[in-house]
Amino acid sequence: MSAGVYRAPLRSRRDDVPLGESVAWARRRAICGFGGVLVPPPDDLDDAVTLARIQYDERLARRIERFAAVPTGAYAWTRDDDGAIWLGRLTGPWHYDASPAAADVDLVHVRRCDWRAAPVPDPVVPPAVHATFARGGRNFQRIHDGDVEAQTRRAWH
């Protein structure tokens, strides 16, 4: 079974969090994720989903559940504020990062992620990845394209 390929904008829904800070912070910390600070910090995934429903809405609760369900080994593509595209691979389960630094960049729902040491050259980035970033958006989402997984595997090696 395929682990999948995902767009991971690493962008906060808060307009006060600059894109460059969150992407750089995620790469330095070897994580992938998204925002939605919960108070108090959740004890586990079920607690996070419940708190997200109460403090935000059903959409955030479902995003957390879907993110947690993505198989370890899935690929994640992100783009920094200079337009460089980075490739990572999820290596751990969902957890909530309650640190003040995570709250500052609004990346609290996270998973461990091995990021390549350098951005992927544009000609090597699969066309479907370019297309999904061109559409915009701030959601972590699967990239559906027949060739994207094989092309991503080649870019990873």
The residue extents of the domains of the chain are 5-156
pLDDT for residue 126: 97
Those residues of the chain that have pLDDT short of 50 are none
Q: What is the CATH number of domain 5-156?
A: 3.10.590
pLDDT for residue 136: 84
Q: Which residue has the tokens 């959601």?
A: 139
CA distance 90 to 112: 6
CA distance 19 to 110: 17
CA distance 38 to 121: 37
pLDDT for residue 138: 84
CB 36 within 8 A of CB 109: yes
